[in-house]
Structure 1
């Protein structure tokens, strides 16, 4: 198994994909955290003094003391999670496209061990991408957010852990999604289109009817891991939001955390884990039977 894992790292490091994808990851994480840090630095002005006062009173704090830096981090991290998902697509679908999958399977004792080695290698890559994503988002937050709005030590650690977790999960999601479709271009286009457009339009257009979609669909639940940590800190996750807040104010508040419809960070983690397992196991099963000749 050790040799198979080493082989996986050699394959990824021999290609430019791993570092080329770091460029948009850094740009997206920094850019979105910078913009949202600047916007939500005046959180009271962003949501209105009445709503801010209502939320603050439930916490017993000054409305100006909210840790708005968490909102900045959540936006940068959430948009950047698309990059490890795309990288994951190349794990299996890319090998089929480049016709290197035959060598991969024939040099391993069986396909199960080959796929396990690939999964372990990409778990490590997920951690690497998560560390970089968080570091860049944190830097943008420190630049734009006033010291009074920065997260506490525990909140920094929570956001860091959440970023690592979601980066690993979306990497595995991308592997499974690419393995099921078995076409790199098709998988990447569909992934970007769905995560950035389709689901967001669906959640927004049906918000008056139901706010549950953002809490159960793949993009919403992926965003809801770090976004849920931010939402929990403000009491604006769906499980804790004051009942007096109207539906569109709820949307605006949860949008500030980067995850409209978020239930809580732990619920989002469990639901997105289920989506990840669905695609990963499906891709695993498909590749146990797929012809490699």
Structure 2
């Protein structure tokens, strides 16, 4: 197994794909979080300096508005590790190098297990990079008072790394099912960036949070919403409170999502389904 894992790492490191995807990951995580944080700072300054808001006693310059940029940056940046996962098996199937891999490995199970271990490592690596540069982006773009506390940041970083890992593994399954590089990448990108967003427009209540992208966004978005709402003074009116929560969840990218732990379980379930189906297909696929 050790030799197979080393071979999988060698396959990745001898190509330019891993760092070709890592560079835009860094740029997107840093840029997206910085833009959102800068907008939050500008909005905070505008509201705080507005005479009417001052008369009403409204002040937002101590609320952790930057967490919305943190969550949004993590969610969008996962498209690159997702692409990497989608190519894990589909590229070998398309080029027919999977035949050699199967024939030289003791069994298909051992080969697929070595790929799983290898891409778990890369999923975690990308997750750490994404959360690190998203953190840097909000630190640069926000006033210090708008940043989350250490506990909030640690929870956001943890669920961000988990989301990245789950997307990577889910994409491996999709790539194995489709077995084509272009088809796998297009399917993953079109679904995550466009199709599910269109479906969400017609889904009521929490239905959006049951779908893969909604559940994934719910991991970070629900945490960001909780961090923000915990700093807001209690709202006694239940209707107003529910309305504020819906708006905050929408801003954080978690509209219709469940709590972060429930979203994580739902997304892990989707990952298990696609990865499991990809595993079964790979076990039975004709390589002649």
- Per the normalisation by structure 2, the TM-score is 0.88
* 8 A contact 1:180–1:282 mirrored in 2: yes
8 A Cα contact 1:180 1:283, kept in partner? yes
Going from structure 1 to structure 2, the CA distance change for 1:20 and 1:248 (only over 3 Å counts) comes to farther
Please name the residue that 2:56 is paired with: none
**Deviation of the 1:140 alpha carbon:** 0.9
Match status 1:29 vs 2:29: yes
The TM-score normalised by the length of structure 1 is 0.87
1:178 aligns with 2:147: no
Q: Separation in 1 of the partners of 2:229 and 2:196?
A: 24
Structure 2 residue aligned with 1:19: 19
Aligned to 1:70: 67
Post-superposition offset of 1:278: 0.4
Gaps of 5+ in 2: 54-58
**1:39 counterpart residue number:** 39
Shift of 1:31: 2.1
CA distance 1:170–1:47, shift in 2 (3 Å) = farther
Distance 1:166 1:216 in 2: 15
Q: Supply the distance in 2 between the matched residues of 1:46 and 1:114 (Cα, whole angstroms).
A: 57
Displacement of 1:47: 10
1:235-261 deviation line (CA, Å, top 9, x unaligned): 49xxxx984149886554223212221
Q: Look up the match of 2:250.
A: 255
Equivalent residue, structure 1, for 2:78: 81
Correspondence 1:144-163 to 2 at 5 A: 144-163=141-160
1:53-132 alignment to 2 at 5 Å? Answer: 63-132=60-129
Structure 1, unaligned runs of 5 or more = 54-61
The aligned residue for residue 215 of structure 2 is: 221
Please say which structure displays the higher CA radius of gyration. 2
Q: CA deviation at 1:83?
A: 1.0
